[in-house]
């Protein structure tokens, strides 16, 4: 099984942008704040499930064992890269030239934690997406 990283990245970015816009709109119009620790996992969940669906539709073998974990590690690298870029933009705009070590260390700590969570999330939802598309194809 070879994951299409461009497709994964496209779905990841679209989900990230749409989620941010929806959260901002919800906060603006209703005053509710949905910013939780679940939000960074949502794009990975959607992108991995979509990729699993596409893999099943294209007739690729089911994600299993070490090969699936390797592909999920590549997918995690995409998520990590986008979040590092996003973090650099946020830190650069908020710090305005001042280097503050504590926020950077917090950011790196959260990236390490979320890297593990993204890896596990990608693996679970890649398999889930594959199984959903496979079972839907069998019912037809």
Residue-wise over 46-76: b if at least 16 C-beta within 10 A, else e? bbbbbbbbbbbeeeeeebeeeebbebbeebb
Q: What number is the average pLDDT over the span 51-71?
A: 92
The per-residue DSSP string of the chain comes to ----HHHHHHHHHHHHHHHHHHHHHHHHHH------TTGGGHHHHHHHHHHHHHHHHTTPPPP-HHHHHHHHHHHHHHHHHHHHHHHHHHHHHHHTT---HHHHHHHHHHHHHHHHHHHHHHHHHHHHHHHHHHHHHHH-
Q: pLDDT of 26-55, one tens digit each?
A: 888 988 877 676 788 999 999 999 999 999
pLDDT of residue 24: 85
Q: Give yes or no for residue 103 having a pLDDT over 60.
A: yes
The domain spans of the chain are: 5-139
pLDDT of residue 46: 96
Entry field: residues in the chain? 140
Give percent of the chain above pLDDT 90: 52
Q: Please compute, for residue 95, the number of CA atoms within 13 A of its CA located in the half-sphere on the CB side.
A: 14
Q: What number is the average pLDDT over the span 55-69?
A: 92
Q: What number is the average pLDDT over the span 66-92?
A: 88
Give percent of the chain above pLDDT 70: 91
pLDDT bracket for residue 95 (50, 70, 90): low
Considering the entire predicted model, what is its pTM? Answer: 0.85
Q: Give yes or no for residue 91 having a pLDDT over 80.
A: no
Q: Give yes or no for residue 99 having a pLDDT over 70.
A: no
pLDDT of residue 118: 94
pLDDT of residue 77: 95
pLDDT of residue 40: 84
């Amino acid at each position: 099984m070879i994951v299409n990283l461009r497709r994964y990245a496209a779905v990841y970015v679209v989900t990230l942008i749409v989620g941010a816009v929806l959260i901002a709109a919800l906060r603006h119009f209703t005053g509710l704040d949905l910013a939780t620790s679940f939000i960074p996992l949502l794009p990975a969940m959607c992108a991995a499930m979509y990729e699993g669906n596409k893999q099943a539709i294209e007739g690729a073998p089911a994600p299993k064992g070490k090969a699936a974990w390797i592909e999920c590690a590549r997918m995690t690298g995409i998520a990590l890269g986008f979040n590092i870029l996003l973090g650099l933009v946020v830190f650069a705009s908020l710090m305005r030239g001042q280097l503050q070590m504590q926020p950077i260390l917090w950011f790196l700590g959260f990236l390490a934690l979320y890297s593990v969570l993204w890896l596990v999330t990608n693996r679970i939802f890649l398999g889930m997406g594959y199984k959903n598309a496979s079972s839907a194809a069998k019912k037809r």
